[in-house]
Amino acid sequence: MAVSKNDKCQIQITACTSNSVGDGWTPLYQACVLGDLETVQSLIRYGASVNMQTISGEMPLNAACQHGHGFLIQTLLDERADINQALVCAVQKDYDRAVKILLYKGGDFVYKGVDGKSLIKLACEHGSIKAIKILSDKGADFTEIDVNGKTLIHVACNTNSVELIQFLIDKGLDLGIPDKYGRFALFVSIDKGFYELSKYLVQKSCPISISEEDTKTALISVFESGNKELSQLLVSNGYTEKLSNFNETMLYYARRLEINKVDSDGRTALHAACRVACGLWPGEQSIARMFNNKYEAVNMLELDVD
């Protein structure tokens, strides 16, 4: 797709205009996707920046790498394309081919962007599992903790990727490390409403938070969202047990969400709350107010009353 003489004037006008092509691409980025060396050279000659990004933050060097245009890669590097910034983009997009090529060409795997984030943290933020594995092979540090005490597991929980969390655990990261607010990975997962990831973390016996109040807040947030599946998961696995002054709240949401998964004793959350209301278990008698009277609670339990 060579550039005709009639196009050169238009190229000169648009070469430095960012995002002028469909999908927010720059003309240079589009040429790199197509592997059009002549157009790339013409655009650069007329002033196009080799580091100009598309609307989504991608750079010409990323396109050349990901599409396997080796002859363009060296051309862009000779024109002082920012290899590390291109590496940042490739990691965020999980362009494994581009990551490998850029590292081979001299990209720094310990490079940090202008925001101070490492490549491995960016990969965890974006769920870039292929990039993470490449960086791991290069010796990336998985033990980093940010200023808020968040480990890479905390960061990765925002992506809803069980595969990623499994990989990080296999690398030796500990689910039992809270952030500086005392919150664990499960707090992040349920805050996002991620069922499959939360289920995996529950199976790993991950706590929610050191603080009982934070735990209550997280649970109520799930209940109020109407996420019945996630609510049942947390209740049936004992996350509402041993929380002080929580029985009445639990009863309300148990009825509202019809939380009916059973515990190891075959009891649902509603059974537990009702038993407290009836005085069968120690607890708050104020729960009985959630029913018309004590006998309604008993009837729900199918118990005989003297």
Task: Output the CA–CA distances (angstroms, integers) from residue 219 to 47, 92, 150, 294, in the order listed.
Answer: 56, 32, 21, 27
Nearest to 206 by CA among 191, 182, 186: 186
Q: What is the pLDDT of residue 298?
A: 42
How confident is the model over 60-118, as pLDDT tens digits?
Answer: 999 999 888 988 999 999 999 999 989 998 999 899 999 999 999 999 999 998 788 99
pLDDT single digits (tens) 194-229? 999 999 999 999 999 999 999 999 999 998 888 989
Identify which of 280, 266, 274, 276 has the alpha carbon closest to the alpha carbon of residue 297. Answer: 274
Q: What is the dihedral of CA 97, 98, 99, 105, to 10 degrees?
A: 110
Tokens 């197509």 correspond to 34
Q: How far apart are CA 35 and CA 100, in angstroms?
A: 19
pLDDT at 179 over 70: yes
Match 């709240």 to its residue by tokens.
Answer: 249
pLDDT: which is higher, 2 or 290: 2
**Structural domain spans, the chain:** 142-210, 212-306
8 A C-beta contact, residue 177 and residue 146:
no
The reported pTM is: 0.74
CB 160 within 8 A of CB 192: yes
> What's the fold here for domain 142-210?
1.25.40
Coil, strand or helix at 268:
coil
pLDDT for 296 equals 46
CB-CB contact of 221 with 191 (8 Å): yes
Task: Report the pLDDT value the prediction gives residue 259, as an integer from 0 to 100.
Answer: 60
Helices (H), the chain: 5-14, 27-34, 37-45, 60-66, 70-78, 83-93, 96-104, 119-126, 129-137, 152-156, 162-170, 185-192, 195-203, 212-225, 228-236, 247-257, 269-278, 294-301
Contact 251, 274 (CB under 8 A): yes
The size of the chain, in residues, is 306
What are the tokens at 148? 């808020």
| pLDDT bucket at 154, cuts 50 / 70 / 90 | very high
- In order of 240, 279, 285, the CA distances from 289 in angstroms are 20, 13, 8
Q: CA 228 to CA 253: how far, in whole Å?
A: 10
What mean pLDDT do residues 268-286 have?
Answer: 48
